[in-house]
Amino acid sequence: MNRIGRTTTLLATLLGAGCALAQGFNDTPPNGAAYDQSPAFAGQTRAPALLSDMPLQQTVLAAGLEHPWGLAMLPDGAWLVTERPGRMRVIGADGAMGDPIGGLPQVDARDQGGLHDVAVADDFAQTRRVWWTYAEPRGEGRNATAVATGVLSDDGAQMQDVTRIWQQNPAWASTKHFGARIVHDGQGRIHVGVGERSNPEPRQLAQDPQATLGKTIRIDAMDGSPAGAGIDGALPEIWTMGHRNIQGAAMGPDGRIWMNEHGPKGGDELNLIRQGDNYGWPLATYGTNYDGAQMGQTQVEGTVQPVYYWDPSPALSGMVFYDGPMFPEWQGDALLGGLQSGSVIRLDIEGEKVTGEARHLQGIGRVRDIEVAEDGAIVLITDEDDGQLIRVTRGD
């Protein structure tokens, strides 16, 4: 399936200032209001709206992608993109779309499953080393998140020397909450945020140190050997516990790792990932059940609070910290994809506190992943039947 990308240029005005306020992203009553939920500290939710009237320009580099999920920049300005049904392909800086790459393992592509995140080595130009996560079929309707690595052939057509280096346990008969974001720590290891598989029974395993559901794990990037936090009684790859469904991960300007995750109905979280911490799920949450029932407490002894949470939920996804010349006003800010909000969410973070929030490009579609190009442009993918690769630059 070789679908040629079309290039379309649209002008869009960044929705900050009065426009963002008019959209009301801070005005909708929280789902948790019925249970008198309140933040643990000032500024933990609904930070002041950031003001801006900067115009943005969107260029659709490629269209016709089927639920794209992961995005990684290559040294020549091209992009490596995954599609959930199990495809990975190279899209040129000019939008030229390559054929699906051969040699990838089978995926379970039901519902939220399939091929997920992708990351490339810092020395990709020399090694052509790639990592990806996927929903691995494990028999009898069961599946689990897995991590694989391989070497992309010089012509971009084939993944070679493919090795699965890690698999989540136990496998489960569920089609939801695979999580699956990858972030390199710069020291030869990768952190992976994995989901708790959604159903009431496996959900409890987010608190089980002998299961890798609802955890972040740290492993050697080449062979998958465990490099965890050394938690008493825990599997050796576990770095943190108590997560629901991690959807975004990035290293901040100071080298610390941040991840975001979906709450249930409300309660999406931004977390600073610290060695050995327990983030509370399913005991602690600012979300409610989908039927409106309370799910837990907002504060539970022995668990850490999110740096920031959202209620209602924008359905967070891929994440990056801005570092580039095109938008100097955004330097160091976190940019997060919003699926339900259909926007790019920008957070001003000072230390460990969110001091402002903006919603840009509202209505652009389900933003699944987001990266910063070499020239400072924002590049994102939209998770749709007809998904797009979009380049966002400063407008006139």
Where exactly are the structural domains of the chain? 15-54+65-366
Phi and psi for 277 in degrees, rounded to 5? -75, 155
Element (H, E) at 124: helix 124-127
> How confident is the model at residue 67, as a pLDDT?
98
User: Does the active-site annotation cover 177?
Assistant: yes
> How confident is the model at residue 298, as a pLDDT?
96
Strand ordering across the sheet containing 257-261: 246-251, 257-261, 268-272, 308-310
> How confident is the model at residue 16, as a pLDDT?
31
Question: Which residues face 57 on adjacent strands?
Answer: 11, 393
Q: What is the pLDDT of residues 57-100, one digit of tens each?
A: 999 999 999 999 999 999 999 999 999 999 999 999 999 999 99
Residues of the chain with pLDDT under 70: 1-23
Active-site choice (67, 116, 177, 243): 177
Dist CA 280 CA 47 (whole Å) = 23
> How confident is the model at residue 158, as a pLDDT?
98
> How confident is the model at residue 292, as a pLDDT?
84
> How confident is the model at residue 23, as a pLDDT?
55
> How confident is the model at residue 96, as a pLDDT?
97
The class that CATH gives domain 15-54+65-366 is mainly beta
